[in-house]
C-alpha cells in the first residue's frame, strides 16, 4: 500500500510545479517550476531589495516601498509572459494565512509595488527555477485553524499547504549556468 507522503503544493503554485524532487517528504516539498506552456525559463520580478554576501551570492529580500515593506516575488515565463506569483508575504505562508489575514486584512489589499527584473551578474535575467517549501504539517494547521479556515479545508482538503513555514527559491541562470541557491529564502511562520 502506498500513501501520499509528500507535502502538497500550495494552491497558488499547483499549476506550475513539477513532480516532487529529492528532498521532498511529509513536511517538505522541492519541485521545479515549469510554466503550463512548457516554458522552463523565467524572469524574476522583485521589489528591488538585494543583499550581496561576502562570497558574492545574492539574496532577494523584502523591500521598503513607500510607507511599508513588501515581500513579493513573481516569475514571468520567457516563453509566454505569464506571471506566476512565487511568494507574497502578505498572502502566503503560516503567518499570512493564520494571522495577518484576520488581524490586518488590509495588508493583502494594498496595491503591490512596481516590480523590476532581477538580473544575474552575467546580465541575463533568464532563470530555471525550483522551489523548496517546509511545513509544520496538516495536524498542526487543523489545531490552529478557525471556522473560516476549517470551511476552506472542507472545500479543498489540501488548502492547508498554503500555510507553509518556510519558502526558498533556487535559480540556475540560463545564460551562464550559475546556481543561485536560496536566491529567495524566507521564514513564513
Ligand atoms: Zn509560459
Ligand atoms: Zn548568469
Judged by its nearest atom, the ligand closest to the C-alpha of residue 172 is 2
Instruction: Identify which ligand lies nearest to the alpha carbon of 81.
Output: 1
pTM score over 0.75: yes
171 C-alpha to center of ligand 1: Å? 17
Closest CA to 178 of 78, 57, 61: 57
| Domain range summary for the chain, segments of one domain joined by + | 41-49+62-136+163-187
Q: Is there a contact between 24 and 7 (Cβ–Cβ < 8 Å)? A: yes
Residues 6+ positions from 38 with CB-CB distance below 8 Å:
79
Q: What is the pLDDT along the chain (189 residues), one digit of tens a residue?
A: 455 589 999 999 999 999 999 999 999 999 999 999 999 999 999 999 999 999 999 999 999 999 999 999 999 999 999 999 999 999 999 999 999 999 999 999 999 999 999 999 999 989 999 999 999 999 999 999 999 999 999 999 999 999 999 999 999 999 999 999 999 999 999
42 Cα: distance to centroid of ligand 2 (angstroms): 13
Please tell me the number of the ligand nearest to residue 78's CA: 1
Ligand number nearest CA of 128 is 2
Q: Which ligand is nearest to the CA of 82?
A: 1
Gap between the Cα atoms of 38 and 28, Å rounded: 24
**101 sits in which H/E element:** helix 101-103
Which residues lie at CB < 5 A from ion ligand 2?
120, 122, 124, 173, 175-176, 178
Ligand 2 centroid–CA 171 distance in Å is: 10
Q: How far is the CA of 123 from the centre of ligand 2 (A)?
A: 6
Amino acid at each position: 500500500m502506498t500513501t501520499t507522503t509528500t507535502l502538497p503544493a500550495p494552491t497558488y503554485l499547483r499549476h506550475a510545479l513539477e513532480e516532487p524532487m529529492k528532498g521532498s517528504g511529509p513536511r517538505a516539498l522541492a519541485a521545479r517550476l515549469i510554466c503550463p506552456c512548457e516554458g522552463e525559463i523565467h524572469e524574476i520580478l522583485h521589489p528591488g531589495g538585494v543583499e550581496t554576501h561576502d562570497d558574492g551570492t545574492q539574496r532577494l529580500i523584502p523591500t521598503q516601498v513607500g510607507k511599508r515593506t513588501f515581500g513579493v516575488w513573481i516569475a514571468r515565463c520567457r516563453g509566454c509572459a505569464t506571471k506566476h506569483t512565487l511568494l507574497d508575504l502578505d498572502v502566503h505562508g503560516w503567518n499570512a494565512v493564520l494571522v495577518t489575514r484576520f488581524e490586518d486584512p488590509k495588508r493583502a489589499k494594498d496595491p503591490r509595488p512596481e516590480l523590476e527584473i532581477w538580473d544575474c551578474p552575467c546580465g541575463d535575467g533568464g532563470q530555471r527555477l525550483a522551489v523548496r517549501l517546509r511545513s509544520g504539517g496538516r495536524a498542526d494547521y487543523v489545531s490552529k485553524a478557525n471556522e473560516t479556515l476549517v470551511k476552506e479545508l472542507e472545500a479543498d482538503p489540501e488548502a492547508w499547504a498554503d500555510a507553509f513555514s518556510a519558502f526558498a527559491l533556487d535559480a540556475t541562470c540560463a545564460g551562464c549556468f550559475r546556481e543561485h541557491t536560496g536566491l529567495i529564502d524566507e521564514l513564513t511562520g
